[in-house]
Chains A and B, each alone.
Chain A
Amino acid sequence: GAVVSQHPSWVICKSGTSVKIECRSLDFQATTMFWYRQFPKQSLMLMATSNEGSKATYEQGVEKDKFLINHASLTLSTLTVTSAHPEDSSFYICSASGLAPAGELFFGEGSRLTVL
């Protein structure tokens, strides 16, 4: 199957700093990318949907100024957690879909963020 890669896989930062997480589709063009957040022992919660070249669409309750999403190319989307706080500590997962097979999503390995 197609490969989606996230970087970094884990990051520790101080409270108040910003952290950028990259999501790349390695062998296909991702027209749409999705960012999810997963708390321990819980399910994935969709944060936002991004289409290449346009602004991301955020789910209700997700602060767009705190979680900045950029989808500058068909192979790269970035999530920046601005002014991170300990409650932002979580597992962030991206997924990507291309033109074929239609409707199929491919997930990245996830990035674990710990804010001290």
Chain B
Amino acid sequence: AQSVSQHNHHVILSEAASLELGCNYSYGGTVNLFWYVQYPGQHLQLLLKYFSGDPLVKGIKGFEAEFIKSKFSFNLRKPSVQWSDTAEYFCAVKGSSNTGKLIFGQGTTLQVKP
């Protein structure tokens, strides 16, 4: 069965610190991978996605993620966080042959201190 695991449940950083959020998945086939962000009181927004090609994916707001197939990982990174990055981050995976059924990780709460 598909599953997604996010290692960090709650991360606290100071502004300008670097960020890396771990995400590992389990799926027996070709996958599409996503990172979503949910700011307080707002709906989910897509940060970035990987379908194929270059495993280093750049998204919005300076975020990037690297797909490492051998490790079944898709970690999210940002070199320098800002207070406005405080939010909930969700990693998600779907089989590339699926119509769109996403399986989400548990989520990571990021708190950035000014």
Contact = CB atoms under 8 A, between A and B. Distances in A.
Interface of A: 1, 31-32, 34, 36, 41-46, 49, 51, 93, 95, 97, 103-105, 107-110
Contacts of B105: 43
* Residue with the greatest number of chain B CB neighbours at <10 A, chosen from A31, A34, A107: A107
Contacts of B102: 34, 46, 95, 105
Contact of A110 (B43, B51, B101): B43
Interface of B: 32, 36, 42-46, 49, 51, 90, 94, 96, 99-107, 109
B32 A103 contact: yes
Nearest to B102: A105
B43 A104 contact: no
A34 B44 contact: no
A44 B32 contact: no
A97 B90 CA distance: 19
A103 B105 CA distance: 18
B67 to A, nearest CB: 15
Given A43-B106, A95-B102, 9 more contacts: A34-B100, A41-B109, A43-B105, A44-B104, A45-B104, A103-B96, A105-B100, A107-B44, A110-B43
A103 B43 contact: no
A107 B104 contact: no
A93 B49 contact: no
Contacts of B42: 109
